[in-house]
Structure 1
Amino acid sequence: MIETTLSAADLRSPPTVPPAMPVTEAAEYLRRPEVSVLPVLDDGSVVGVVTASDLVAMVAETDGRPSVRTIMSSPVTTVPPETTVSEAAERMRTAGVKHLPVVDDEGYRGVLSVTDLSPYLPRHHLSIEWRDDPLSIESDGGRERPPDDRRADSIM
């Protein structure tokens, strides 16, 4: 598989929001089908992300209408544009996140989601390790049996 870096991948650019934005305004963005995450930027730096899950948790846990700062997920797992797609997938897996903001020295560049990774990764990853010869042929009425097969002939 050829490794694609995130700088070559098609990153999405969802709306960004400031930490002081009221949650109700952030919710309006997240109502759009194409918006699954809102990167929270403070002075050009990603300081958090807000998802619909964060809003649901806020509604379940509070009666008020706090700002984005109080419900955003932080600290944020980010990656630079030089990160390969497979490295980004592994980073998502180990961090337990579904969105990775991509940042460089100049700041926020876009966001990568689990869904965005699917065209770049194989459907299945198999790791096969042969330890011994998997089959041996014995003279047993023409049947093949592994050497460690100790089952009675009546079972076979």
Structure 2
Amino acid sequence: MEQTAASVRELTESCISKFERLLSLDNLAYVKSLETRLADFRLWADGVGALAKAGVSLDSRLQGRVNDLALVKNILIMLANSLDYYMNLAKTGTSSIDGAVLNIDSAIKNLALIGVAIRRTGKASRNRKADHTFNPNAHQEFKASGMQGGELA
């Protein structure tokens, strides 16, 4: 299966699995630099619903936004590839992991920026929906109970 055909959920699970395999290494120098990055990645996944059930998942919410979905998937693929590269460095005992760490950091930072944008568009969408469905006639009691001159009494 081509990586871009995978869902955001599958790609996210794959990245978490790769992180966990790296964290199981005996070499403390390699493990220490990844613990915080895994925590950041899990926060991103929870914040955007990357691992949520169908209907509320990021895959579902981005279903009609093909370019946004492709962008998220491509960054997740980049993260997975960076984690594979990191694993290769760890297995060979290479002492210079700085480049691999920068790649991982870059991917997580990009995902975080996209997460902020996703939350903003979701909030704006909910506000538009609330404005569109608001029926002032259904709230006459509230209006009569103390709204005078636009302020609460």
When normalised by structure 1's length, the TM-score is: 0.27
When normalised by structure 2's length, the TM-score is: 0.27
